A and B are shown apart, each in its own frame.
Chain A
Amino acid sequence: MVSFQSFIIDPEYPMGMYIHVYEAEAKDSRIKERGKAGGAVTAILLYLLEEKIVDTIIVARKKHGLRGETYVVKTPEEILEAVGSIWSVVPYTLGLKEKLLSPEVKKSVFVGLPCQAQFLRQMKMFPLLESDFSSKIYLIISLFCMGTFAIESFLSYVHTSYRVSPDDITSVEIVKDKLLIKHVKGELTISVDEVLPYLQHGCLTCPDYTGVFADISAGRSPESESTLLISRNKMADKIIRDAASKGYIGIREASVKVIDNAIEKSREKILRSYKYVSTLI
């Protein structure tokens, strides 16, 4: 019998259904050596691979400029190599089916964005085709997302306004209300409001900030360098706690202030979505 889990997107439950919200940091020295802030998601992935709970991890990796590609990771070394290049600026699932259907893949983790978590969850709960391949996905991790960029126009804007070549960009992150663009010659900080017109139109209608359809949602904590982890079911909560008890991550219950901040952003995205969707009907 299917165990029931409710998935909702509603202003009354802006972060969806969840069990716990943690603030977490990587404790694993191999991640800390690479100098990445937070790093809790990488540490959990490391735990899942090293404990042989899963055999494959699927993430999007930066290819060139802001382009990404589906990247299949099978060893802890590959995960550590990918630290810093795991890419969440564009949703990217091309090639996912072929990679998952490979006989070598038996149990995998998918790390992606809320929109991807939504259709993979639907695929798992309601397989509409005999050929659906989601049974191999053991865990879905969604990264917080305020929207993704219409790549060409965004890159053109950055290039024209700030003389940063698309190929030189190494990472794009949202830090508080600023967009931090790291490139080979330095860093560039732009206010989020300034680049809002370059978000994809479809992202403006999306109501999901945290990824309510995922097992675990993860994003940067507004208060510190730690990672906010939301466990949405018992299995996900056990994975987080086990990773902590084995020394991969350090966790503590998130403060009310931090949770309120995530709720506020989630509600903001839902309301933005209502506004844009109402113009489309």
Chain B
Amino acid sequence: MSQRTKPELLIYDFGGCEGCPLSIIRVIVQLSQIVNVSSRYLGSVDLNRSYDYAVLTGSICLDSVRHVETLRKIRENAKIVIAYGSCASVGGITLYARGGQEPMPEHRKFTSITKLIDVDYSIPGCPPAPQTLISLLSNIKQGRGYFLDLFKASSYTSKLSGFDLIDEIVLTGLCVGCGACVLSCPTNALQMIEGHPDLIPEKCIRCGSCTVRCPRFSQLLMQRAKLLEKSRILIRGVSGEKHG
């Protein structure tokens, strides 16, 4: 494939632990074979041009006008926006930061980017293994598939965690005890007790991995997305009109 015909992909981090962009760096060679990558690490970020894909990482501090404006600009210039990693997609551990906590942060509020702009695909994970991005681009190119629908559906929510899993699947009796959530939890916050998961609240970092791995929760997300697609309500921010 020639350099010119490859899609343009922007990787942009809005702040956090840098785990997501660093994880992507590990597959930068593989990624460069299918897209032209613009990244801060490559010194090639230009926010005044258009992109086919924008892969956004980190959560947004609502006190930072600069970050909010940058996010709006990227949305306007990108055909497909991917919220990559738990902070960008579902808030992750930054949801616990609510201001006035010792010793920091002073910022009042962090939120996932899915709350501010219309996102096309949302990938939880802390951080997602970089192979995920390659798989996602491949699936988007083909334009179909259950998992593509799932990650589209998860862009309609801005909060997913072990708490939601317990509330919506376990306590409602929908859990079949397959163990997907327990096997997916990076902090061992979930444990199997009498055939069903139980949550250790202090250990949950709200990464959302358990919810998108749970076959039943995935189903709920997709069903809700179908309803929300028709009447998408943004809490604040840009209108999020789709490009292309």
Contacts and interface: CB of A to CB of B under 8 A. Distances in A.
Interface in B170-227: 172-180, 182-184, 186, 192, 195, 209, 212-216, 218-220, 223-224, 227
A211 to B, nearest CB: 11
Nearest to B139: A4
A118 interface: yes
B244 interface: no
Contacts of B101: none
A205 interface: yes
Nearest to A131: B186
A126 interface: yes
29 contacts: A1-B34, A1-B138, A2-B131, A2-B135, A4-B142, A8-B144, A91-B179, A96-B183, A97-B183, A115-B176, A118-B218, A122-B147, A123-B183, A126-B123, A126-B131, A126-B132, A126-B135, A127-B129, A127-B131, A128-B212, A129-B209, A202-B174, A202-B216, A205-B219, A207-B219, A212-B146, A277-B220, A278-B223, A280-B220
Interface in A209-224: 212-213
A132 interface: yes
A200 B177 CA distance: 10
B33 A1 contact: yes
A92 B179 contact: yes
Interface residues of B, number: 53
Contact of B192 (A94, A122, A202): A94
A96 B134 CA distance: 26
Given A6-B145, A205-B174, A277-B220, A119 B180 contact: yes
Contacts of A96: 179, 183
B23 interface: yes
A126 B195 contact: no
Interface in A94-153: 94, 96-97, 113, 115-116, 118-119, 122-123, 125-132, 148, 151
